[in-house]
């Protein structure tokens, strides 16, 4: 558990930079690679000095074979030079945050990126690259050095550059088998000094992305998560102000997905942030179940809202036994914090002083995701891709098509509570306390009581052999061996045990300043 504390501590001290080589970055990169390789055969895209993106790992992991799958044919062929495709497309997206795979499930990739760059951002980046100033590119600051005389009108030579860049971006999407693009932005374009800097794929004036299914799930940016502390860590009181003029994005998704979520989509702007997160996560899961192609998930810059949903998907699919089957609770927590957040450039040193606790919220929302509606159940059913757009949806049409349930909101207004009823103890997998599909995968191994509020859990976790003890909870969770399990078996862990662990782990973020006398980072943790 100390390794997670060191990871969090390092994350609060610096934002990851691929050009910066130190023991913290090197240790995290090696550990993450080791964890991935337990369950996947991977290819590696070299980004050693940040040539592709300074805010991406020095080695971008691309799983090509799931060791637990009957299909052992590589997803990608060696004849494709993925790195060249990445290099050609890196300026097509904001801050050079190009499309890369981050999860691999049932032969499909879930990719991440930033949104598309417009000419206002591409112009200075291409200029710096041409002048050989790539090494001095800053990915943490907004672009402010744009030529004010440039009027933003696309000239023929500019369109040629656009065609090449966005063509390379589309090639990369096709290489990774992406069929749908999920946009989390609350605005359709980002304007700086009167010039369009970024825009969604839907606004491409030449409709280059017409072959992809567009899914718009507007989700608040990092500034909204200042409410986490203001609302005393109660997400049910967090509401976003959708009436702001910048919020011009509308919710849009295929009918075959929206109809499988029991909610009233007409009133999505009235939902609290937890309810919004629940329903969006269900849409992503239903897409993975019913569509044969993968998903690209992105927000504006791709390092706040995007890792939130990537992390929730990784933890949820792991809890279902669908990915990372050999990893323990401690290891999956380390993987998502280290890879999904830190190595992809989440700026925690900047977010914490501003009170923008989006990372904390990611783990705070986990107890609200335990129902069967969040269980991944693949389906071979073919769906028609008609589209739901709330701006033109009538209530009568919604009642006929979406199967609305007025009581759903009340059902989802649950407290963070891990109280379970004790049942007969199994000789093989501990206490079978729930009939939920999730608990059939990771059956509980302890009897739990309701934990205190997350922001009170600030004591450093003590270790005792193979057990992690939480003094404030008076709980003990046994940690299975980190060795690879035999094919077909699953770790004896429960989703609630994941919740307890991650809540305690992330609570150290709030009180990281109280952590003293940290010993040097143990680089050999995963070699023991």
The 10 Å Cβ neighbour count of residue 388 is: 21
* Candidate list 42, 85, 222, 299, residue with the active-site label: 299
pLDDT value for 99: 96
Q: Is residue 54 within 8 Å of 16, Cβ to Cβ?
A: no
3-state secondary structure of 36: helix
Q: List the 189-192 sheet strands across, edge first.
A: 116-117, 195-199, 189-192
Q: Which residues pair with 357 in a beta bridge?
A: none
Q: Is residue 2 within 8 Å of 508, Cβ to Cβ?
A: no
pLDDT value for 465: 29
389 — phi, psi (to 5°)? -130, 120
pLDDT value for 332: 93
Judged on CB neighbours under 10 Å (0-12, 13-18, 19+), 458 is middle
Q: Report residue 165 as tokens.
A: 């860049």
Q: Is residue 216 within 8 Å of 249, Cβ to Cβ?
A: yes
pLDDT value for 478: 28
271 φψ region: left (φ > 0), alpha (ψ -120 to 50), beta (else): beta
pLDDT value for 121: 60
Helix or strand (DSSP H, E) at 215: strand 213-216
pLDDT value for 126: 57
For the chain (528 residues), the mean pLDDT of every run of 10, in chain order, is 86 93 94 97 94 94 92 77 90 91 96 84 55 44 34 50 86 96 88 59 86 96 94 93 91 94 95 97 97 95 96 94 92 95 95 92 89 85 51 34 29 29 29 41 30 31 31 26 32 40 43 36 39
Q: Tell how many helices (H) and how many strands (E) occur in the chain.
A: 16, 17
Strands, E, within 291-420: which ranges?
Answer: 294-298, 387-389
Q: Is residue 256 within 8 Å of 289, Cβ to Cβ?
A: no
Would you call 222 a catalytic residue per the annotation? Answer: no
pLDDT value for 165: 87
């Amino acid at each position: 558990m100390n390794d997670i504390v060191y990871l969090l501590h390092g994350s609060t001290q610096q934002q990851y930079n691929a050009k910066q080589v130190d023991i913290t970055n090197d240790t995290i990169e090696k550990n993450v690679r080791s964890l991935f390789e337990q369950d996947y055969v991977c290819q590696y895209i070299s980004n050693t000095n940040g040539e592709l993106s300074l805010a991406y790992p020095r080695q971008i992991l691309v799983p090509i074979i799931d060791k637990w799958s009957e299909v052992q044919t590589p997803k990608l062929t060696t004849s494709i030079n993925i790195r060249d495709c990445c290099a050609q497309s890196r300026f097509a997206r904001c801050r050079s945050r190009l499309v890369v795979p981050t999860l691999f499930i049932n032969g499909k990739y879930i990719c991440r990126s930033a949104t598309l760059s417009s000419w206002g951002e591409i112009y200075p980046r291409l200029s710096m690259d041409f002048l050989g100033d790539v090494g001095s590119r800053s990915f943490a600051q907004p672009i402010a050095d744009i030529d004010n005389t440039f009027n933003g009108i696309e000239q023929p030579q500019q369109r040629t550059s656009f065609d090449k860049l966005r063509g390379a971006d589309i090639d990369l999407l096709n290489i990774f088998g992406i069929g749908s693009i999920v946009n989390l932005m609350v605005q359709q374009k980002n304007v700086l000094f009167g010039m369009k800097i970024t825009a969604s794929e839907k606004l491409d004036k030449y409709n280059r992305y017409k072959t992809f299914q567009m899914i718009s799930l507007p989700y608040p940016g990092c500034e909204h998560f200042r409410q986490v502390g203001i609302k005393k860590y109660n997400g049910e009181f967090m509401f976003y102000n959708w009436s702001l003029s910048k919020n011009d994005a509308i919710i849009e998704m295929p009918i075959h997905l929206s109809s499988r979520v029991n909610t009233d989509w007409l009133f999505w702007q009235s939902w609290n942030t937890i309810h919004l997160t629940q329903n969006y996560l269900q849409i992503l899961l239903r897409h993975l179940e019913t569509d044969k192609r993968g998903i690209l998930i992105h927000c504006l810059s791709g390092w706040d809202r995007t890792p939130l949903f990537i992390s929730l998907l990784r933890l949820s699919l792991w809890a279902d036994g669908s990915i990372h089957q050999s990893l323990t609770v401690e290891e999956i927590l380390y993987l998502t914090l280290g890879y999904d957040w830190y190595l992809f450039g989440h700026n925690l040193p900047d977010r914490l002083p501003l009170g923008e606790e989006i990372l904390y919220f990611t783990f705070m929302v986990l107890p609200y995701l335990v129902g069967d509606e969040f269980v991944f159940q693949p389906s071979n059913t073919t769906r028609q891709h008609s589209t739901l757009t709330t701006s033109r949806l009538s209530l009568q049409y919604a009642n006929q098509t979406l199967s609305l349930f007025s009581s759903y909101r009340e059902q989802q207004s649950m407290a963070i509570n891990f109280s379970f009823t004790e049942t007969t103890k199994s000789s093989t997998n501990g206490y079978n306390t729930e009939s939920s599909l999730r608990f059939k995968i990771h059956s509980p191994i302890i009897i739990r009581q309701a934990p205190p509020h997350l922001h009170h859990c600030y004591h450093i976790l003590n270790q005792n052999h193979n057990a992690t003890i939480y003094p404030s909870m008076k709980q003990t969770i046994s940690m299975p061996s980190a060795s690879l399990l035999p094919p077909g078996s699953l770790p004896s862990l429960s989703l609630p045990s994941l919740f307890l662990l991650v809540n305690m782990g992330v609570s150290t973020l709030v009180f990281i300043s109280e952590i003293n006398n940290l010993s040097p980072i143990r680089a050999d943790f995963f070699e023991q």
